[in-house]
A and B are shown apart, each in its own frame.
Chain A
Amino acid sequence: MSTETRPIYTHTGHPLVDVGASVIAAFNRRRNVEEVTEQDLVEIVQYITQHYFREPLRGFLTTVFPNSAYANPTMGEERKRDIVADVLSTSPLPAAEGPERCPFCGQAAKRRFRQHVPLVTGEGAVNFTPGGQAGLPVCARCLVAIQACVLGTLKCQGRLLLAHSDDPELTLRIVAGFLAKNQRILSIPSSGKYPESKYPGTILMEALMNAQTGQEAIRSRPSLTAYHLTNYGTSANVDVYHLPSEVLAFVSAAQASSPVRDGWQYAVRQGWRLGLPPAKGKPADEPTEYKVGEHRNQLYEDLFGLTKDLASLGRFIRRHLSWRIPDALARAPDGPPGPDAWPLTEVFLRMVLLMEKARVEVLRTLGERFAGYVVEQNDKRFFDRLWRESGRYHLLRSHLLRASHAQVKRGEAPLISFDEFLLAFEDGEEVARADWSLARDLLLIRMMDELHARGWLQEHAAELADAPDEATESED
């Protein structure tokens, strides 16, 4: 491609540059970063010059660009002008200027330091760089993008929160949403602090759901990485959160149609309640409206922190998909009964856990069969044992064997076949699967849906024991 036709920006895979380029595109109403023009750069530089040197943004910029011309109150006006002319220059460096290349785009570059590129070394430090050269070589256009990226992020708990996807369209849409919020804030003259948001997982999930369109996540399979960073003095820090493509696809599929959508919406509503701070000795006054940035949605936070280890998955399933349990009923005694949990659970198992289809089906079948058995035999004890007394593998197995044996004595088929038992709970004969307790929880979710549909759960809700304490669970 010739120099004349080369776009100013393309997707680089580097978060600060891509988010910044997306800001410039969104600010100038471009459909993608490749459409950004020279004039668009001039426009964003004007906007930056207008807002970065004054409150409410200037104070926050000390955490992003400390000691920069924007944030250093002791710097003289003339020096500021010189630095701005250098840092916000929209003209590419001539190739002859130096042998160094920008690692983001390959264009001619000049050394830049921590005050203009967050989290690289300051001037003079020779660590982490080839040849002991401080800082990072960055080209003029990528540097402008890095300066602009602040406008496509949110201030969250004193840090910069930015979302970056390998799908440039998704990045652009999330950035456009954040940019619109920031433009609204900056359009009101203020000498106060920049508004603060809380709970990064909640903010990002909301932004993601607003930005994702229909089947996109299922079709193009993007993933997303969030960076929560501060570049402030000795407190500099960055937290990185990965959201794999299967989680994005799950979130998209969960909102697609009933009955899965009903379960998702109910789980989201419960998530807001779970996110309330614990009240001291009395129930907290629930707000009439939950606000992103002010309140925590525990479902969103847990989805963002889902590391896919067994403990994390077990906690997620107990917290967000087991809403038919007695203590969940007690949490919302006057609310309408929740929808069935299994449709959403099944999508979660297939898309996020990548559980084998045959195993999902056997868990569903067993849940339905056990519920039928409990209702027909009115065997509350069997339900209680499964629910309350199966924290150890040998206990679960003996409860199932005992109930099966009782069925056979009645002349019925056993409650669970050998093959079903193996597929649901064992890796081989006598060897429990590492996730046997997860399988038991899933079976109970399906069972409770069925018991609720048959009215048995409501009838016996008052007698049902509390949920077992997670801490007492043990992997035999």
Chain B
Amino acid sequence: MRVLRVEFEAATASFRYPHFMVGRHPTFPMPPPATLYGLVCAAVGDYVPPETLRLGFRFTYEAEACDLEHLHIITPKGARAKFDCRGQKLPLTTEGTVTPTTRDFLFNARLTLYINRLDLADAFRRPYYAMSLGRSQDLATIGRIDEVELHATDCAYVEHTLLPAEERLWLGSGIVLTLPRFVDPRQAREPRFDHYLMLRERIYAHQGLMDELRNQLGDQLVRTIPAGRELWADPDTQAFHGAHRAVWLQELV
């Protein structure tokens, strides 16, 4: 399977929990699929039909930290509201209140994005809008953009990525998060959520017998993939115990 591979770097990244809006903005430890869709659309400069996209990624960061930032809470004012300007009463339409808020962020983020659309390469070479991992100030730079032939394999390692939540049953590791899968621009930005397994540690997934590897690494690190799943690996990644890193491409809708 031939896919597009784009590498991003950002000094900071922050993926806010959508329903925590005041007081503190914690961050998800990985970018939600909806954020990655937004990143692709920002590069293209338009909404890409979501049904044409399948995305996979690897995301890491050096540290998590928090900082205070000013939120300007905006409230519209009624028709009779006025404000004083050099002795004159002028109509007040909108008011902004400065609110210091704790914002969590991820430091020195690295994202390798895999996209099933080879035709989008030029969009990443000349992105229409600024590339960012989260807020507008979380600017990202694009490093390598290339195509890679993913190999179907019977053994690969999985790390630093999101998978469908049901994969936790055989992988036996990680944290399940409910994340925005897709925010529909045609439906007043109505969000659709899904459950994902966030896996950071390296787990070896294999099909068939891998007794030698299991004996060496143990049952916790070597897991058998249930029948019917395909395993694709990026051959350019570092090999450990003869296995390359798996790429889990997922649909948005």
Chain A interface (Cβ < 8 Å from any Cβ of B) = 12-14, 99-101, 103, 114, 117, 119-122, 124-128, 130-132, 136, 166, 220-223, 225, 230-231, 234-240, 242-246, 249, 308, 350-351, 354, 356-358, 360
Q: Given the known inter-chain contacts A119-B23, A236-B24, please indicate yes or no for A244 contacting B174, CB distance below 8 A.
A: yes
Interface stretch (choices B113-121, B125-133, B144-152, B211-219): B211-219
> Could you tell me if B74 and A127 are in contact, using CB atoms closer than 8 angstroms?
yes
Chain B residues with CB under 8 A of A122: 22
Q: Smallest Cβ distance from A363 to chain B, in angstroms?
A: 13
Q: Are A13 and B22 touching (Cβ within 8 A)?
A: no
Q: Return 21 A-B CB contacts under 8 Å, by A number.
A: A12-B178, A14-B19, A119-B19, A121-B22, A121-B73, A127-B74, A128-B21, A221-B172, A223-B168, A223-B176, A225-B177, A230-B23, A238-B24, A240-B17, A242-B175, A244-B173, A246-B201, A308-B201, A354-B173, A354-B220, A357-B221
A127 touches B71 (CB 8 A): yes
Do A354 and B203 touch (CB < 8 A)? yes
B79 interface contact, C-beta 8 A = no
Within 8 A of A (CB), among B140-199: 165, 168-169, 171-178, 188-191, 193, 195
Whether B102 sits at the interface, judged by CB under 8 Å, is yes
A238 touches B220 (CB 8 A): no
Which among B172, B189, B193, B217 has the highest number of chain A CB atoms within 10 Å?
B172
On whether the beta carbons of A350 and B76 are closer than 8 Å, the reply is no
Q: Which of B71, B178, B202, B215 has the most CB of A within 10 A?
A: B178
Q: Smallest CB-CB separation from B168: which chain A residue? A: A221
B173 touches A166 (CB 8 A): no
Given the known A-B contacts A121-B21, A223-B174, are A245 and B218 also in contact in the complex, defined by CB atoms under 8 Å?
A: no
Task: Return chain A residues, CB-CB under 8 Å to B73.
Answer: 121, 125, 127
A348 to B99, CA, bound (A): 44
**Chain B residues, CB < 8 A from A245:** 168, 172-176
* Minimal Cβ-Cβ distance residue in B for A361: B218
Asked whether, in the complex, the Cβ of A125 is within 8 Å of the Cβ of B75, the reply is yes
Q: Within the assembled complex, what's the spacing in Å between the Cα atoms of A12 and B165? A: 13
**What is the minimal beta-carbon distance from B71 to any residue of chain A, in angstroms?**
7
Query: Contact at B216–A356, with CB atoms within 8 Å?
Result: yes
How far, in whole Å, are A12 and B176 apart by their CA atoms in the complex? Answer: 12
CB distance from A221 to the nearest CB of B (A): 5
Of A12, A114, A128, A246, the residue contacting B172 (CB under 8 A) is: A246
**A242 and B69 alpha carbons, distance in the complex (Å):** 24
Q: Would you call A237 and B23 a contact (CB within 8 A)?
A: yes
Partner of B218, one of A100, A136, A356: A356
Which residues of chain A are within 8 angstroms of B169 by Cβ–Cβ distance?
Answer: 220-221
Query: Hey, which chain A residues are within 8 Å of B175, CB to CB?
Result: 223, 225, 242-245
Contact A360 B172 (CB under 8 A): no
CB of A148 to closest CB in B, whole Å: 17
Nearest to A307 among chain B residues (CB) is B64
Contacting residue for A237 out of B18, B102, B172, B189, CB 8 A: B102
Select B221's contact among A13, A225, A356, beta carbons within 8 Å: A356
Complex formed: what's the CA distance from A438 to B189 in Å? 48
Q: Which residues of B contact A121 (CB under 8 A)?
A: 21-22, 73
Residues of A within 8 A of B235 (CB): none
State the Cβ distance, A310 to closest chain B Cβ, in Å: 12
CA distance A76 to B138 in the complex (A): 47
CA distance A131 to B19 in the complex (A): 16
Of all A-B residue pairs in the complex, the 4 with the closest CB atoms, nearest first, are A236-B23, A13-B178, A357-B218, A166-B176
